[in-house]
Each structure stands twice: as C-alpha cells, then as structure tokens.
C-alpha cells in the first residue's frame, strides 16, 4: 500500500472513529519502544521534566500584542535548550515581532512526555489564560509513536485540537512528527522502523490538520542534514532532544508559515505562487502530505482549483518549501493543478 493511501486511510479512520492502520505490526513497535526506554535509562534525564520557562512578551510596538500560544510535547516545550529565549516558542515570538513590528506575548502549555491525547487538557488550561489566541503552534507526535498510540487516535486528537483553536479565531501551524530514525541511541534495524512509523504518522497528521483548518510544517528530522553531519551540535546532552541550535532550525522552519498564516507579508499580504522548479505545486492533499513528510521544512495548506476545494482524490492542497527563502513574496503568476513530484 502506498504511503499516500495509508495517510488517507489513517485520516479517514480518525474522522469516522476507526482504529486506523498498524503498518509494521506490534512487535517492531514494541521493540523500538523498549530500545528507546533502555537508551533513555542509560543516559538519564539531565534536563529534568520541564522545559525552560520562556513565557512573556517579546519585542515592542504599537497596539495590543500578538497572542502566540504553543502546545504539544517536549519539543514544543524546548526541553534541552540552554536558555528560555532559545526555545522554539521564544524564537518564533521574536521573529514574529520583528516581521509584524508589534509585541508578541508567548504562552506555552506544552508538556514533556505529552501525546496527542493530552492536547485537549492543554487547551482547557490555555483557553482559561488566553481566550482568543491569534496563532497557535502545535508540535506533537513522537511520543504517540513510542507509546504505541494507534495512529488514527493520535490524528483524531490532533484534529480536534485544531478545530477548537480555529473555532475561537486562532490560526494554527502544526509541526508534524519528527523523524525518529535520527535518534542514534536506538540501534538498527529498529531506527528504520522508527523512521517509517514517524513519517507515516507525519503524513496522516498533515492530512487531518489541513482538513481541520491548519497549515502543517514537516519537521522530519528537524531539518537534519546538519543533525546527521554534526549530531553532537544539533542534539542536546541526552541525545534525544534537540540542542539550542537544533531548536533554532526547527523554529526557522515554522516561522515563515506562522507569518503567512497571520498575513504578515509586504504589499498587502500577497502570497507567492508555488514554484515548480523548487518541487512545489498544487495537488491532492495526501500526495502533498507524503512529499512533505520526506522533506523537512515543507508547508502544506489548503487551496482551491477552479473555485473547488476538492478534486477526484480529495481536498486540494498547496505544497511550499519556504525554509530556503526570505519571508518576501514574489510576482504573482498562474498556478495549475499538479501533483508534487516526490509523491509515492
């Protein structure tokens, strides 16, 4: 079964209450989870059980601050960052402030060890503090894989969180499941299993998140050519979580999509069209989701073709690779409906 078809099936099972697919079977997942637990035990927990406290107001400007909220797991909380201002939320807050020319207030409810099922409780606490966030960043999924959560259940919980945030007027950017195959303490061949499971979940998360009204950004191996080349710099001391440099790379992937979601563009908020020379394009959402899962830093969002939201193979989506370009739009051109070329 192709990965695009698996992503559609998991998302459909989530929507209709099914159990979803267990692609590689329980034995491989159980072995991977056991290896990760053993590796964690041998390294310990040098950072404790909480990320740095980064909440506060970043930047300055006229008017009310932009309300930025962050939900999810330890990657969203910034566990492993040296300083609070080096967490993903703080880096994105400073970037948004610079682009918007306004202050940004950061509120973080992400928790170390969280799975997608914990997003509901995080939202309950969050909306008591910030009833109407302007933009939310959700980073979650790794623990769903290692805790053997059924993909459809994890995707369903993510979609519900996106829908709740959209219902109160917030824009949402979802950083999908990172590539667990980059975690060196887990030996081969289990790292290959981890890679496939995490990429499959990331693709399904993209389908569900975009259907619910979010933009997704593939974190993949957290922009990891650098992670593979210099893992001692990009991973923190526990060899599981990113370092401050690693979180900066992840935040750099999320920031352009956050700016786009808020319309923080010059010249009246115009978006640039996809560029086929960069492997970008418009196509069925499941195809775009698979392409994004294999290419860290890639954004997928909903679009229309000929005034229609859906085609024969589901919702139309646009795939953009923003991370290698400045946050500046280009001259508008016509876009035709084409499948991203890297799809399976």
Mean per-residue pLDDT pooled into runs of 10, the chain (344 residues): 57 49 52 61 56 92 94 90 90 94 96 94 97 97 88 95 98 91 65 82 94 92 53 54 74 92 69 84 92 87 92 91 53 37 34
In the chain, the number of structural domains is 1
Nearest to 179 by CA among 148, 202, 210: 202
CA distance 94 to 254: 13
**What pLDDT was estimated at residue 330?**
36
In a domain, residue 142? The reply is: yes
**What pLDDT was estimated at residue 338?**
43
Q: What is the maximum span of the chain, computed from C-alpha positions, in angstroms? A: 57
The DSSP bridge pattern shows strands 281-284 and 56-58 to be unpaired
| Residue 63 buriedness (CB in 10 A; 0-12 / 13-18 / 19+) | exposed
- Domain encompassing residue 310: 3-321
Residues in the chain: 344
Q: Which of 82, 238, 295, 339 is catalytic?
A: 238
CA distance 134 to 100: 13
In a domain, residue 326? The reply is: no
In a domain, residue 332? The reply is: no
Handedness of CA 310, 286, 262, 267 (dihedral sign): negative
- The DSSP line for 149-161 is --HHHHHHHHHHH
Catalytic: 74? yes
In a domain, residue 327? The reply is: no
Report how many helices (DSSP H) and strands (DSSP E) the chain contains, helices first.
13, 10
**What pLDDT was estimated at residue 205?**
95
CATH at 126: 3.40.50.1110
In a domain, residue 329? The reply is: no
Please measure the distance between the N-terminal and C-terminal CA atoms of the chain and give it in whole angstroms: 10
Q: Which of 55, 73, 74, 221 is catalytic?
A: 74
Q: Which of 73, 97, 216, 241 is catalytic?
A: 241
Catalytic: 295? no
CA distance 175 to 71: 10
Bridge partners, 173 (sequence order): 137, 215
In a domain, residue 340? The reply is: no
pTM for this prediction: 0.81
Catalytic: 241? yes
In a domain, residue 339? The reply is: no
């Amino acid at each position: 079964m192709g990965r695009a078809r698996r992503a559609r099936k998991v998302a459909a099972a989530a929507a209709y209450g099914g159990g979803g697919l267990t692609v590689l079977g329980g034995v491989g997942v159980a072995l991977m989870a056991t290896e990760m637990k053993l590796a964690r035990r041998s390294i310990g927990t040098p950072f404790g059980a909480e990320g740095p406290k980064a909440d506060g107001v970043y930047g300055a400007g006229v008017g009310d601050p932009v309300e930025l909220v962050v939900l999810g797991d330890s990657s969203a909380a910034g566990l492993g960052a040296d300083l609070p201002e080096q967490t993903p939320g703080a880096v994105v807050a400073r970037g948004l402030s610079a682009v918007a020319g306004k202050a940004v207030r950061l509120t973080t409810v992400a928790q170390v060890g969280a799975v997608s099922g914990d997003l509901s409780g995080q939202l309950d606490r969050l909306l008591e503090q910030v009833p109407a966030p302007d933009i939310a960043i959700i980073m979650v999924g790794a623990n769903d894989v290692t805790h053997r959560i059924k993909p459809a259940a994890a995707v369903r919980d993510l979609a519900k969180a996106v829908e709740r945030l959209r219902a109160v007027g917030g824009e949402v950017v979802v950083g999908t499941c990172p590539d667990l195959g980059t975690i060196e303490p887990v030996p081969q061949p289990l790292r290959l299993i981890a890679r496939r499971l995490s990429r499959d979940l990331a693709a399904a998360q993209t389908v569900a998140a975009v259907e619910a009204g979010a933009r997704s950004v593939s974190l993949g191996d957290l922009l990891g050519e650098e992670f593979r080349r210099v893992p001692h710099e990009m991973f923190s001391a526990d060899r599981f979580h990113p370092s401050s440099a690693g979180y900066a790379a992840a935040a750099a992937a999320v920031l352009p999509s956050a700016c786009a979601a808020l319309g923080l563009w010059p010249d009246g908020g115009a978006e640039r069209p996809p560029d086929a020379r960069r492997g970008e394009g418009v196509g069925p959402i499941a195809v775009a989701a698979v392409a994004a899962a294999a290419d860290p830093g890639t954004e997928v969002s909903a679009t229309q073709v000929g005034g229609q939201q859906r085609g024969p193979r589901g919702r139309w989506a646009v795939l953009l690779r923003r991370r290698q370009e400045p946050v500046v739009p280009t001259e508008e051109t016509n876009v035709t409906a084409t499948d991203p070329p890297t799809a399976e």
